[in-house]
Amino acid sequence: MAEHESLEFGKADFVLLDNVSLEEFMANLKLRFEKGRIYTYIGEVVVSVNPYRAMNIYGRDTIEQYKGRELYERPPHLFAIADAAYKAMKRRNKDTCIVISGESGAGKTEASKYIMQYIAAITNPGQRAEVERVKNMLLKSNCVLEAFGNAKTNRNDNSSRFGKYMDINFDFKGDPIGGHINNYLLEKSRVIFQQEGERSFHSFYQMVKGGPESLLRSLHVSKDPTAFNYIKVGGHIKSSIDDGADFKAVADAMKVIGFTADELQTVYKVLATILHLGNLTFGVDGDTTLIENSKVVAVIGDLLATKEENVEKALLYRTVATGRDVIDKQHTAQEASYGRDALAKAMYERMFCWIVGRINDVIEVKNYDAKVHGKNTVIGVLDIYGFEIFQNNSFEQFCINYCNEKLQQLFIQLVLRQEQEEYQREGIPWKHIDFFNNQIIVDLVELQHKGIFSVLDEACMNVGKVTDKVFLQGLNSKYSVVGFIDKNKDTLFQDFKRLLYNSSNPVLKVMWPEGKLRITEVTKRPLTAATLFKNSMIALVENLACKEPYYVRCIKPNDVKSPLLFEHERCRHQVEYLGLLENVRVRRAGFANRQEYPRFLQRYKMISEFTWPNHDLPSEKEAVKKLLQGCGFEQDVAYGKTKVFIRTPRTLFCLEEQRTEMVGRIVLFLQKVWRGTIARMRYRRMRAAVVILRAYRRFKVKSYIKDVNHKFKNVRSMKDHGKHVKWPTPPKVLRRFEEVLRSFYNRWWAWMLIKDMTPEEKLRIRAKGATLEALKDQRPDLGLQRTWEGNYLKRDSPDTASSFTLVSSELQRKDKFMRVLFSCNVRKINRFHKAEDRAVLITDRHLYKMDPQKQYKPMKSIPLYNVRSSPLWLSAIVYTHTRTRAWREKVCVLDTQSEASVLLNGTDWET
């Protein structure tokens, strides 16, 4: 049963109808169509109603919803039937087929394309190049076959005018490895004639409207379709179809498939030749038949790569062998017109069959050895022309309707056989159901010696004048048989076959292999079109019968292509001849629904305490019995060997209602449990993060302390007491600790430096410390690494030392100081930035400024007790770099504070 569809959309499966009647069937079909639900099940059959509008139900997200699901797990859809066929092929290694049937315009071709799209989308997750190539070829082939095999009719803008059966081959992994296309009964009469309001095949209009100017010039074709008799007959040239865009799409698809440029050009030449043939007219001059527009013959000869005279002779004469003699018999104007039309039809049919063959050459499985690669399996997709009844039904329509009757008979047989075999296999009694078997209709057409095809063949073989009336008398029927005899004979003069076989175009030569026979060679009478088609249908049915079938039954809701109109009588007629109601009755004959025990238990086990969440019974069959007994449904079910069978839809509805109620409660329970689980998981992650963080911090702290201990372990024995040792980078948490540790180390290092000093050295150190404090942040070095000498003039200037000694002795005698504290040469810089050499002498009582140029003559004397309050500034110790690269300590007395600033900030001094 389909899930996620409420009863407002009707019953998703016709088997679940309360009363199986045509009225209820139609009411449910109409309700679902009006609600936008175009797909409905009959068990494992999909009923599809053409919506006549684009629907957003075929995208990638929809594909994912149906991939790997059972039919009843999702709402009805084409993808569900495609997935069921694919699973049966992959899981059970069985060949399967999908049979798509219905009227013309019911959506069969679109359904086949969506099925191909789904199969291509769910295969090859690894994107292997060869598999991708095969999938691309299979999809592109649809575009090409539609262009050359489809046409606009009064009932359908894209009606398939041929039958198509495609086999898709898969390897043991379930990936497509190739395919094969069979085509049946192309409606070639459409080449020369169409009903009012219809068109010929799309390919003609695509070339005329979409072909580039250069191509059309080479083909002698204009862009006006009304200029060609064959494609203007229908009177419906304008269409919603974009022929120009389709021309490019088809050309690109043919190139992708593998058609060469020459082959593509030959296809265009064949189409152009057919158009020109339709414009040929014949006249009579006495007893001679003439071609009235002979210029067209030259164009045809050029396009067919043969001589103009050969084309003219084939059109006007027929070569006849009488014994050993060969004569040329001239056609009448009527015979010439018949031969021209037969040639046009035959050329198109041969070209179409050649295109199908070329596609098969590309997509067929190659170099596949079953012993090496394993058995390859097949999914067949049958898109056959639609059943139609017109006011006048032609030979082709007769064959098409016979084909549909043949497939309907197969459908009835297989459905009944499958149903009966399943009941027998499961040990369930089978009740016979009466149904209409259309075998009598099939026999009426194909029975040997008595069927319509046999009577038609006999009429064609009669000697003498054979007419459609003679055939009609033989049938004793009301059928319109106009043209049946000629179409069944399908006569094409051998002269045309030889003409095209002898063409210098190799592609045309391949299309006409019979042309190599000489006129005198004895050949068997060719099989008639009816016999060939009957044989192909019998072979097709035998091919389908050996596969596991899946069905798509397409219904056309109205004849005006409206997305809103549901014509009750129109749809009722289709439902009746498709046998859909009988299908429902057969399905409902015994049990409305059947499911395998594991699947049933998986879906409904939550409604019983004995099966939720798991059962402890001996088998799943016993668990299902216990579940149904607990619900009170044991009287409405039967137990097979592998499946449980449910008789009435009401039981299934009750199970679904109980399941829906329990699912809500289970969801709440699961949400509660899951939310608790998520909270616990989050807590455990946070706790683990904290533990890890703490452990990491301890590790970093220990590592840092261990590193510091290792680096500073032997600093006591080092010459510089570890001053050169580089401190390790601390973790963030220990940055403050590192500052304190460095402070401790610095204090220890300072103590280690001064502990062995004499009192005098300690005094000098204090002086240096005071200077450092006075000039904080002004100079990076104050000679802390050296001993201060003090009286530098006496030590560093031997040439002038005697003069300085005399002056200092005189000053000592005069000012009564006890000792010299400091002396040196300096450079004075005033507020005007003028520099002059000076000398400074500091004693324990005075500060003197001297002129070294005048033998250190004192220039100014200041008592030391006045220095603290004097406006004069005493500079700190400064350094200048001499040419001998030796460092000297100098003192400079500055007159003002600004002079001190100049000194400290000047470029000649390093502060």
What residues are labeled active site?
A: 104-105, 109, 156, 159-160, 386, 388
Q: Binding site annotation covers 106?
A: yes
Q: Binding site annotation covers 36?
A: no
| The pair of three-digit structure tokens given for residue 256, joined into one six-digit string | 């992708």
Are 583 and 576 spatial neighbours (Cβ–Cβ below 8 Å)? Answer: no
3-state secondary structure of 48: strand
Are 635 and 647 spatial neighbours (Cβ–Cβ below 8 Å)? Answer: no
Residue 271 CA to residue 228 CA, distance in Å, equals 12
| The pair of three-digit structure tokens given for residue 537, joined into one six-digit string | 């249908």
Are 578 and 412 spatial neighbours (Cβ–Cβ below 8 Å)? Answer: no
Are 533 and 541 spatial neighbours (Cβ–Cβ below 8 Å)? Answer: no
Residue 814 CA to residue 108 CA, distance in Å, equals 135
Residue 602 CA to residue 720 CA, distance in Å, equals 83
Could you give phi then psi for residue 442, rounded to 5 degrees?
Answer: -65, -45
Residue 715 CB: number of other CB atoms within 10 A? Answer: 17
| The pair of three-digit structure tokens given for residue 784, joined into one six-digit string | 């802390």
Residue written as token pair 């095809």: 453
3-state secondary structure of 100: strand
3-state percent helix, strand, coil for the chain, nearest multiple of 5? 55, 15, 35
Element (H, E) at 194: none
Task: Give the amino acid at 731.
Answer: P
Residue 695 CB: number of other CB atoms within 10 A? Answer: 10
Residue 583 CB partners (closer than 8 Å, separation 6+): 42, 43, 45, 415
Q: What is the CA radius of gyration of the chain?
A: 54
Q: Binding site annotation covers 789?
A: no
Residue burial 645-680, b: 16+ Cβ < 10 Å; e: rest: bbbbbebbebbeeebeebeeeeeeeeeeeeeeeeee
Q: Binding site annotation covers 102?
A: yes
Q: Binding site annotation covers 459?
A: no
Residue 76 CA to residue 70 CA, distance in Å, equals 11
- Give, rounded to a whole angstrom, the gap between the first and last alpha carbons of the chain: 97
Are 538 and 513 spatial neighbours (Cβ–Cβ below 8 Å)? Answer: no
Q: Binding site annotation covers 248?
A: no
Q: Hey, which residues does 113 pair with through a beta bridge?
A: none
Burial class of residue 719 in the structure, from the number of CB atoms within 10 Å of its CB (0-12 exposed, 13-18 middle, 19+ buried): exposed
Helix 78-92 to helix 108-122 angle (10° resolution) is: 50
Q: Binding site annotation covers 109?
A: yes
Reading phi first (left if > 0) and then psi (alpha if -120 to 50, else beta), residue 787 is in beta
Residue 169 CB partners (closer than 8 Å, separation 6+): 176, 177, 178, 179, 180, 365, 368, 376, 377, 378
Residue 383 CA to residue 389 CA, distance in Å, equals 19
479-483: list long-range contacts, CB under 8 Å, 24+ apart: 479/393, 479/398, 480/392, 480/393, 482/392, 482/394, 483/189, 483/394, 483/395
Residue 412 CA to residue 125 CA, distance in Å, equals 38
DSSP conformational letter for 545: H
Residue 95 CB: number of other CB atoms within 10 A? Answer: 21
Which of 59, 111, 37 shows the shortest CA–CA distance to 553?
Answer: 111
Q: Binding site annotation covers 323?
A: no
| The pair of three-digit structure tokens given for residue 427, joined into one six-digit string | 């040990």
For the annotated binding site for ATP, the residues are 102-109
For the annotated binding site, the residues are 102-109
